[in-house]
Amino acid sequence: MPTPTPQKFNLAGRRDALTRLGQARLDLLIIGGGITGCGIARDAALRGWTVGLVEKEDFAFGTSSRSSKIIHGGVRYLEYGHFLLVKESALERRVLRTIAPHLVHHLPFVFPVFGGESLLKVRAGLAVFDSLAGSKGSEKHENLSPEEVREQLPGLREPLKGGVRYPEYITDDARLTLENAQSAAEHGALVVNHARVQHLRMSDGRVTGCSVVDLIEDRTVEVSARLIVNATGVWTGGVLAEAGLEAEFSLIPSKGIHILLSAERLPIEGATFLRATNGKRGLAMRRLGYVYVGTTDDEYGGSLDRPRATRSDVDEVLDMVSDCFPEQHLGYDDVLATWAGVRPLIREAGKSTRDTSREDAVWVSPPGLITVAGGKLTTYRQMARRVLELADPDLGPAPGPPDRTATVPLPGAVVGPAGLAAYHAERSRDLIEAGVEPAVVERLCWLYGNQLDDLLAFGAEDLSWLEPLHPEVPALRGEVRLAMEREMALTLVDFMDRRAALLLFSPNFGLAGADAAADIMAEALGWDADQRTRELAEYREFAAEHALPPA
């Protein structure tokens, strides 16, 4: 059996975990390192099961790094009568703030009401939401005058009747996923990225194992498990089809895109629901010096590994936001980056992708295989609970305590009486004293929790770890080291996109700092000159695919 010694979350720890995966029969093997798979692995490991998780690319490679990045109650779903989903999501916000305060930032959401619309109806809807969410004090919605709406959303189109504001939360979806994977490993799970599951093995009509192909070190490991969980999001159907199996529910891939703007060009605070005069709807969210706007919601038949925004997707979003903020005169030149994500929606007869429920589906078929699909980032913990409930007849009582995912903090959480704000204030002072630019410090405090201690410790060893990757890129050399030593970053894209969020939230995709990051990774991971060149070329290509798409 895998020993409970926690795996190191780096290249060496990964190598060892993969070997150990092949040596013992696990209780649970999870396929897919998105938020769903990582959440299940963490929950199961906390309950004392022997757990493996295998991800074919990187944690959050799929939809879990391409969402709108909001931990939200889903007010919009009230319109469709999805009260249980709204209640569950609304309550989850509180739990995630407790276990990951460093990753769940306050985001005041404004619902503006225009002439011809009913302010009363919106207020009544928000009152229902408050009651489902159990909101207290400042968590409750507040009514805004037109002037107050304009203060938060300058340039919003007229005629404005007023609005409502209520608190939601913004996160870094990739880091939230990563910290769930790290936490699973801390509690005994064997967690491996860049390894693909193929060939589910059957014996007497039961799924009993699979082959895992290591895409970094070119080997194949045979893994056996009492139960396998297929948590592969939009790849669900493909994984089943490869084994000659069919999905119990019909899944429709639905693509949504976002465009990134500078907050100087759309100077809103917090976030807002957008409603264009032609009825198109979307969201705009502020993240430090950026505002991103989305999203489309269209049935999708393209590449699952590389969903990209098209020019017509961008036109749709630009038209919508320009209609809402006509004075800003936004155009293609304002689009700093784009991204696309694909949802695996559970098909509902007669409904469009936008109107289809975001609820998840979990089923066992054939014996030995649980499949989970759909859902939301916000409700990942509850999805994990539902999966483990379904695993109960096969696994029997858990060796450890029941669900602890609501109380055990994620690895980067700052615990202690002083709280996160005091921690960030203190570490900001230390970083600035060490010569780090205030703008970089602001980004670091947004992205990291207690990992700032690691960065400062690297700086104490050698101050050059606190130097920027490049004067134009607001990131430190030490973040590359952190990503490799503690966060299992194995490729340049792993670091630039999913660890440091430089692909989407830094000037020109952080390209100016890519060479320095590649140098640090090459030295630590033993890349030769060819591999370094390949990694840089891949990153440049990846960045180009996230730019304004060609007409």
**Residues forming the site for ligand FAD (CB under 6 A):** 31-37, 54-57, 61-64, 67-70, 72, 196-197, 231-235, 239, 256, 295, 341-343, 375-378
Pick 37 or 167: Cβ nearer ligand FAD:
37
Distance CA 341, CA 254 (A): 8
CB of 210 to ligand FAD, least distance (A): 9
Residue 512 near residue 496 (C-beta atoms within 8 A): no
Distance CA 353, CA 77 (A): 13
CB of 321 to ligand FAD, least distance (A): 16
Pick 174 or 522: Cβ nearer ligand FAD:
174
Pick 125 or 375: Cβ nearer ligand FAD:
375
Pick 69 or 532: Cβ nearer ligand FAD:
69
- Which residue sits closest to ligand FAD, CB atoms considered? 34
Residue 483 near residue 500 (C-beta atoms within 8 A): yes
CB of 459 to ligand FAD, least distance (A): 33
CB of 156 to ligand FAD, least distance (A): 22
* Count of alpha carbons within 13 angstroms of residue 65, beta-carbon side: 27
CB of 224 to ligand FAD, least distance (A): 16
Pick 377 or 469: Cβ nearer ligand FAD:
377
Distance CA 215, CA 486 (A): 20
| Count of Cβ atoms closer than 10 Å to residue 246 Cβ | 9
Distance CA 516, CA 518 (A): 5
* Stretch (H or E) spanning 238: helix 236-242
**How many angstroms separate the Cα of 529 from the Cα of each of 223, 494, 536?**
34, 19, 11
Pick 261 or 511: Cβ nearer ligand FAD:
261
CB of 343 to ligand FAD, least distance (A): 4
CA 373 to chain centre: 16
Distance CA 20, CA 23 (A): 5
| Count of Cβ atoms closer than 10 Å to residue 533 Cβ | 13
Residue 341 near residue 67 (C-beta atoms within 8 A): yes
Distance CA 253, CA 347 (A): 9
Pick 157 or 308: Cβ nearer ligand FAD:
308
Pick 343 or 499: Cβ nearer ligand FAD:
343
CB of 257 to ligand FAD, least distance (A): 7
Distance CA 120, CA 284 (A): 23
Amino acid letter, residue 324: C
Pick 9 or 61: Cβ nearer ligand FAD:
61
Pick 64 or 135: Cβ nearer ligand FAD:
64
Pick 235 or 325: Cβ nearer ligand FAD:
235
CB of 484 to ligand FAD, least distance (A): 20
CB of 242 to ligand FAD, least distance (A): 8
Tokens representing residue 56 in the block: 């074919």
Q: Quick one: CA torsion of 252, 111, 62, 511, rounded to 10 degrees? A: 140
**Parallel, antiparallel, or unpaired for β 473-476 and 360-364?**
unpaired
Residue 212 near residue 200 (C-beta atoms within 8 A): no
Tokens representing residue 25 in the block: 């029969």
Total residue length of the chain: 551
Pick 207 or 377: Cβ nearer ligand FAD:
377
CB of 195 to ligand FAD, least distance (A): 7
Residue 371 near residue 240 (C-beta atoms within 8 A): yes
Distance CA 454, CA 427 (A): 11
CB of 177 to ligand FAD, least distance (A): 7
Angle at 37 between CA 36 and CA 39, to 5 degrees: 65
CB of 226 to ligand FAD, least distance (A): 19
